[in-house]
Amino acid sequence: MNAHAPLSASECGVTVRAEHGQRAVFCGLTGIVWLHRKIQDAFFLVVGSRTCAHLIQSAAGVMIFAEPRFATAIIDERDLAGLADMNEELDRVVTRLIERRPDIRLLFLVGSCPSEVIKLDLSRAAQRLSRRLAPDVRVLNYSGSGIETTFTQGEDACLASLVPGLPEAATDELLVVGALADVVEDQFARLFSDLGIAAHFLPARRAGQMPAVGRGTRFLLAQPFLADTARALEERGGQRIAAPFPLGAEGTTEWLRAAAEAFGVDPARFEAVTAPGLRRSRQALAAYAENLAGKRVFFFPDSQLEVPLARFLSREMGAELIEVGTPYLHRGHLAAELEWLPSGTAVVEGQSLDDGLDRCRAARPDLTVCGLGLANPLEAEGLTTKWSIELLFTPIQGYEQAGDLAELFARPLARRARLEV
């Protein structure tokens, strides 16, 4: 695949339709669970309710004696009743936090449903605190509210908030965009180095090491849900390299190939560099081919990873796609993925929860990929489910993780087989 120009649904043989209605997804606060591990000297302060605090604590599974890089500034009855100045209260909480954690170099004020409902201006608060704490601490803000977003958009909003402050650069280098597990980032860094491409990653592991961006920057998305971040980079002069996403042996190879072609890497060198990883990933996938081949899969919308995952299951594992629901569909960023789906695949953007449940129950798929809120009820009805959120918490990109990705889908099927009498 040498070009990835956006295709219409009819051109790639995929049926795409939008639905409206009730949804069941996590809010953007959940992204803090993996982001706080990535930027090692950053801290995420959620301005929200006790419900927000319980959500993040439960999702992260943090032990009582742990020292995580996130917390919640609780909006309580005094704040809501106007008995306390919320900005003064926030300044007091931040001051105490910085005194306790002097290692913090980047502080994110994260908006929530409660803070947005009462119109608390965290943008102005971030500017005020950033001026006060400079140059030791930089303060940014973004929204993790679940009112209109799904949980992966928390990462998108976080990375987009970083872009305006990135250093200016006019160098012709590659920027890989998306929070990747450190082991995956290291693997990709070695591959790009072997290809002769100078690659940087957003976000960096430390606040002071964030990459530069400018008119000569070409960027490659590692995640399909980074629409706002991509737009912010383009406004800074960056140019997106169109590519599928690095899931599975095929997706990883074509993702790397898109970068190699953009930077004029010799095809022979590309084949030599990628051949060992491609061979290992195919061997790893072969171990799960029998378990997944021919299995009928239904995707509920949750993470925005659904289209690339469906492509992986269909093309590399031989699964049959009943329906691919996704919260939002960026047709430009997903053009290559849509092109690779089998002709006639039903892709549903938004997906009405009630209608989707009716279609799923009628189809009785072998495997249903969905959020935590749907998994237990569907399991009680005899359907085998896979938690979509686990695909965010687990390293799944790249050659070395291809087998792990396949195993995540094979595991619930194996569990069901063991339970059957």
> Cα–Cα distance between 344 and 321 in angstroms, integer?
10
- Half-sphere exposure of 5 toward its Cβ, with a 13 Å CA cutoff? 1
Q: What is the pLDDT along the chain (421 residues), one digit of tens a residue?
A: 333 333 344 445 788 999 887 777 778 888 898 999 899 999 999 998 888 888 887 777 654 455 678 989 888 655 555 545 678 889 999 999 999 999 999 999 999 988 887 888 999 999 999 999 999 999 999 998 877 678 899 999 999 999 999 999 877 899 999 999 999 999 999 999 999 999 999 999 999 999 999 988 999 999 999 999 999 999 999 999 999 999 999 999 999 999 999 999 999 999 999 999 999 999 999 999 999 999 999 999 999 999 999 999 999 999 999 999 999 999 999 999 999 999 999 999 987 899 999 999 999 999 999 988 899 999 999 999 999 989 998 999 999 999 999 999 999 999 888 876 5
> Cα–Cα distance between 112 and 146 in angstroms, integer?
7
Which residues touch 217 (CB under 8 Å, ≥6 apart)?
169, 171, 172, 173, 175, 233, 236, 237, 238, 239
pLDDT of res. 82: 52
pLDDT of res. 15: 85
pLDDT of res. 158: 97
168-to-142, 230, 238 alpha-carbon distances in Å: 22, 16, 11
pLDDT of res. 6: 39
Angle at 254 between CA 249 and CA 255, to 5 degrees: 100
